[in-house]
Structure 1
């Protein structure tokens, strides 16, 4: 439903890119969005949310996971997904990132993480 942009009612902007989605889906997945969309903030009235500090690829994966896809974590994206999930108050995804890091940490990469 999100991929086809059927009845989407909010656009998330990060940099020059945008993601169309549904407020109810994002509010169910994220305390940040729930507070935003239920508090009367201008973003809830205008249907646009600007998230300049969040990586587009991380946000795209997070949105898809909010629609039921498996969160696709790897060594290249786990940090940006962790940061975005933390910012957006998506505790399930924060925990997924922590679990990924714990399961993939070894003596060769522990300082990088």
Structure 2
């Protein structure tokens, strides 16, 4: 399932800061579709913990962002316009910056995104993100 997620109102980072992320709940990877004012890598891995989704970098399990209440793989799945709090953990600061997330779109069809290949996959892989 593809979930398009919008992070925003992280005003302590930048008043206009936002990111649009594509979450793949099958591979547990994400990619950044667009952003302004948020220093997130182009892609990374996902973890779940106690009903939350943790947005991690491509090669570590330390969360960059925690999405409260977004439980990937839960019974019934995510739904359009679902919302919750987001906590951004910048690498250079101890305190989280809080904002919100909301689901823009849930696509249950298996589609291949137009751009990008995850760097941790073998050469020649057909999996895109």
Q: Please, what TM-score do these two structures have when normalized by structure 2?
A: 0.28
- The structure that is strand-richer by fraction is 2
Q: Please, what TM-score do these two structures have when normalized by structure 1?
A: 0.31
Larger radius of gyration: 1
- The structure that is helix-richer by fraction is 1
